[in-house]
Each structure stands twice: as C-alpha cells, then as structure tokens.
Structure 1
Amino acid sequence: MTWNSTFKQRGKPLARTGFKRKEPGAFKAQLDRNTQTLTRKAAMKTRRKRVTVADGAKYLAACRGEPCYLRVPMVCPLNPNDETVVPCHENSLAAGKGMGIKGSHMRTVPGCFLCHAWLDQGKALRVEKGAVFQLAMADWEPVRARKMGLQTQEAA
C-alpha cells in the first residue's frame, strides 16, 4: 500500500495569506454585547454560615475527663477511669445528621470506645440506639450545664 493510493494528493499547495489587523471597534462592540448578559438579574443571596469546630468546641471540651454516659448493657465495661471516653454524636436526622454530615455538637454525650462503636457501627436497631442515646442525654445535660455554667432547660 502506497501513500498515493491511500490518500488523495493535493493538486495545489495551500495559499498563504498575510496577517490582517482587525478593525479597532470590533472588540468593543462584542464586549458591549457580553456585558448585558453578565449583569445580575437579582441580588446575590447570602450563604448560610458553615458550622466550624470552634462553634462546638465548648461542647466537645465538656466531655473530656467524664465517665461513659451511654452505658450500653452487655457492651460497656463501666470503668470510671476509662481513658477512651470521647464525645459521641447523635445519629438521627433530628440532630442534623445526614449523609457525610456529622450531627450537631450540642447533641453529644461522653461515651467509651466500645459504646461509641456500638452506637455508630453496631448491628442494633436504630430505635434501640436512639433510646440509649436519649437516656444518656437526659443524664448528661444537667452535668454539662453545670460544667459549662449554663442554665438547664428545667430551670429556665
């Protein structure tokens, strides 16, 4: 197979043209047309402030040095000096939890590693997990309020 049999050979070479300068007003007219489409039809809406770690840091700090409040039956070792206690977030839609979104820092309870794992990855029913969390939150709220210097909802 040869080059000539596969591709048609051009009979005349490409013509060269010189560089042509555009008219001075050509770009300005195009810019004027584009500015009409770029003007805003309505004012920009303000974006909702994203929750930062600093906003909920006081709630997370209140959980430090506390015993496990979740106390899941048959899971929790009930060790008062447990060093694995961390803030456990509520995993319900009511707490602001969503796909890839952690729940509100206000809805945290101190829990040991085993209880936290049960709450997040355990095979228990969602209703059972919610009930355990609600009991723990009821016990934890007055203690947290005293620790943070806040009023409890009952006193208000």
Structure 2
Amino acid sequence: MPPTNWADLFAKARHSAVHLEMRDHYAAPSEDDPIARWEATGVADTDPDSEWWAGWSRIVRDAVARGVQVRRARIVSEPVTRYTRWLHAITPANLAAGERISWLPRRNAVDLALPGADFWVIDDTLVRFGQFSGDGVPMEPIYRDEPEVVKLCLDAFESVWARGVPHEEYVIH
C-alpha cells in the first residue's frame, strides 16, 4: 500500500530520500499568494519553524536525525520564472531543516535521460512521481517500485546532482 502523506513516505526512509524537480511553476495562484506577498515586501518566509514550514521541517528533521540524507535537485529554465525566483528565496528554510539542494540550468541538462515527471526516490526502492496539471496544480501521485523504474530515476537524479550547483553558489539569472 503506498503512503498516503509525506510523513508516512518519509517514515519509511532509512538512508536516502532524493527529489528531482523539473517544472518552472508548481501551484495555481491563490488568494493568499506567497509569491505576490514576497514580491510586494521583499520578505520571504525562510523560518523552518514558521506555521507554513513547520510540518515539512519536522518531517525532514526527523528523517535526517535517523541518518537519512535528503537531497533535492532542481532543473530550471533561465531566465528564471517568478516562481523559481521566489523558490530560490525561500530555499534557506529547506536547508535549515536538513535538505541539501542543487540547481541545474535546463541548458545543462539537454543531454540527460530524464523521466517524464518529477519524483522522489526513497531508499532506492520506492518512487513517488508527482503529477501536476498544466497550470501546476498537484494531482494524485503515482508510486512505482519496479527495479528498472527505480534505477531510471536514481540514474537521472545522480546525473543532475553531479552537474548541479549547490544552492549557496547558484546565482539567479
């Protein structure tokens, strides 16, 4: 039975959780648009203990405390979208929770074999493919555990990670 939420998914992790993001936008605008608020004020929520971040930070911190390495790689178009600019601004909260994050300009990924959707791989055994509508609204994820699917995703992630720029060094263009 696949996990039903992030806490259950990460509770299964014993040594690694890797995530590859390949979209330039992830959520439909809402009435409480954090991107618009950041653009208007210049202030991004980078506090991993804030109400907005606390649930995710707790999940990541618990995993890291058990010895799980949590890595996230992002392939981004340049010049970046407003979403990606905001994402870069809030990434310190991910880092403070214990994630390691790298960025790869899309032009440097053109010769890599990549799956057709973003994914998480947990402990080299389970893949959670994220599904999104065209305008970035999350849909029901797809879980796969076939060894060849896991290998495809791990190989893709590691190739992106090897070329990626650590968050602290990536300059927004």
TM range (shorter): under 0.3
Greater share of helix: 1
User: TM-score, structure 2 length as denominator?
Assistant: 0.24
Identify, as 1 or 2, the structure richer in strand.
2
> Radius of gyration: which is bigger?
1
